[in-house]
Every structure is written in C-alpha cells, then in structure tokens.
Amino acid sequence: MENCRNFGGLLACLGLVAILTACGGRSVNETPDAVLKSVLADKFLIGVAVNSSQAAGLDSIGAAVIKKHFNSIVAENCMKSEEIHPEEDRYDFRLSDEFVRFGEENNMFIIGHTLIWHSQLAKWFCIDEKGEKVTPEVLKKRMKEHIYTVVGRYKGRIKGWDVVNEAILEDGSYRKSPLYEILGDELIPLAFQYAHEADPDAELYYNDYGMAHEGKRNAVVALVKKLKEQGLRIDGVGIQGHMGVDHPDYEELEKSIVAFGQTGVKVMITEWDMSVLPTVNSGANVADTVSFNDVLNPYPTELPDSVAVVWNERMGTFFRLFEKHSDIISRVTVWGLSDGDSWRNDWPIKGRKDYPVLFDRNYQPKPFVQQLLKKKNE
C-alpha cells in the first residue's frame, strides 16, 4: 500500500475500498495461495502487458493484481519507437525506466516490446528532412543506433526482446512497409544482429499475429531457419494470440505451435486476448449510431451469460492447448490486465465495450481463470 502515501495514491486506495465493498467484501487477496504464477509454475511463465499507470503504481489496484498473479511483464506501449525515440536525437526513457523498475522490484521476467515494427514507428525513422525515403545506409545506421541505445540501456535487465514485430503477411510474403522497401531481405537479419550485439545475453524473438495461417506459418519457419543458418541468434517465436470467438482455427494454430517448436526455438503466446465483439473492417459505417449499438457494439452494459459461457469455454480450450504444448511453450502473456484496460475496446473502432482478458472490470478472475486457480486448491 505504499501508494497510499500520496494524494493520487490515496484516491486509488479509496477506489480499492469501494470496489471491495461493491464485491461484497471479497478481496483480490482472498485466496493468497491460489495465484496464477504458482498454479502454472511447472508449465510456463504467465505474463501480462502492463500500461504506464500500472507500472507507476498510479493504478494501484491493477498493480496489486499484476504482482499477485504474474511473473512476466511486457511494455504495452512505452517502448514502441514513437514513444521511446520520438525524434532522431531525442529519446524518452521516463516510462520505460518505470516499467523496468516495476518488473525488477517484483522479480519478473521482463520483455521489451518492440524494436522494429512498421506501426507506431517514430515518424522520422524512414525519411529525410525533405520527407523522402532515406537510403539503405542511413536506415541501417538509424536502426543500429536505435537498437544499441534502447537494448543497451536495459542490458542484463530486460531478459527478452521482441526484435521484429509483424513483418510477414498471412500469405507468407514480407510486408512491404517503408522499412522493408528500403532494406528488403536484410531488414530482419540486421535487426537481430544489432540486438544481439547490444546485449549478447538477451533472448531475441520474432513476434506476429495471424500465425495460424499456413502461409505465415511456413514463412516464419523459413525465417527462423534462415537466421540460424546465418549464424544469428533467435530464441523464440511469439504467437500474438489476438483471438475472436470465430478465429483462429484450433487445429491450424496447433500446427503452427508444433512447426515453430520443431525449428528448435521456444514458442510464446505473447498478446493473448479474445474479443466477443463482431469482427469489423475499418470501412464499417460507425456514423450510423443505431447499427453501431445494435450490431457492432452489442454488449454496452454487460456481457450476457450465454456469451460469457461461450467465451470461457473457448478460452479454456485454448489454454489447454497451451498446457498440452508446455514442453515448447515457455510463456503465455495476456494483452492487458482487466477488460477495462484492453485495446480491444477501441480497435478497430473506438468506443465499444469488449470483454477479452482474464480479469473483469472489477479485477475479478473470469470463470475459466477461477477453474485454473481451483485446481491448485484441490
């Protein structure tokens, strides 16, 4: 309760009391021995993406639940290049320093996310002062400096890095991002080379979504083999695991877990969540309020039991898949602590209400999580 020492912390603590009261006096600490990290200790690390208020302890309830249940954390946003390196000659380490301190203080396996990604990329990264694409030489120099500085700052403290994020499309081709257009096939190997040079002991990962697609699966397997043939270090493949109630296909995902494992690297579920909302494309007409509420945002107050049952069963099914492959899966990380924290409420359209992660808006574990916790007590 160290955060009760300041005014912001006091308000947060009063909030905690209010929530506990609303929950009929049950506290998040009710069963101190039944915590996810101990239930899963012989299987894999259990991680969560942490936002800046949690890392700073401003969200003291969230921070307490994270400390209680998780033994690995990843930075939700503060290490993306637009945040940590907003201008070529200016880094901003305030939030990332807090994030790493939070992990160290709580003895967690800390993941850095992410070094090279086409999205949330600092605006200056690929262009010159005239707004034109830089040459390959300039981009290599910038990438090297960026990776050396960020990885170097947390050398020995951040244990694993998502070196490259989302560079391959579902058909297996390389994403034609500005980064790729400038460096082509050199892009990914160079990123891994620089990261390894900056911290030879850090684990290095390739991370992507849509990994159940055959084209992407084959391309990622080929990438891992190619990096290894080139003598580069790659320790793991991250399957993001952003799911819906209709995707991914269970069998196809299992094939990918097995295929990645067969390359000899660790497999990680790195950004697990499961939306209950209808899939929309960015062309959806959100100006039509009636259809928005009825069709695209069907559960604006609470999740009906019938849908919750489907969600919990499906989450449980995938969790058992991860447990089944715990010989190769080294970590399962959830993308966000509570439903209220999740990016899914605002993507791909803003202002919907989703229910995608392990803890509800009152920080209570969902039924399938309660099942996991109960197993330990039986």
Contact positions vs ligand GLA (CB under 6 A): 113, 165, 209, 240, 271, 343
First to last CA, the chain: 31
Catalytic-residue membership of 302: no
Contact at 8 Å (CB) between 356 and 350?
Answer: no
In whole angstroms, how large is the CA radius of gyration of the chain?
Answer: 21
Give the whole-angstrom CA distance, residue 311 versus residue 21.
27
CB of 271 to ligand GLA, least distance (A): 5
Where is 57: in which H helix or E strand? none
The three-state secondary structure class of 132 is coil
59/271 with CB nearer ligand GLA: 271
Helix axes 305-324, 367-377, angle to 10 degrees: 50
Give the whole-angstrom CA distance, residue 176 versus residue 174.
6
Contact at 8 Å (CB) between 237 and 270?
Answer: no
CB of 357 to ligand GLA, least distance (A): 12
Q: List the catalytic residue out of 76, 83, 203, 271.
A: 271
CB of 254 to ligand GLA, least distance (A): 21
CB of 349 to ligand GLA, least distance (A): 14
35/234 with CB nearer ligand GLA: 234
4/349 with CB nearer ligand GLA: 349
Catalytic-residue membership of 271: yes
130/350 with CB nearer ligand GLA: 350
Give the whole-angstrom CA distance, residue 226 versus residue 217.
14
Q: List the catalytic residue out of 137, 166, 302, 313.
A: 166
Residues identified as active-site: 166, 271
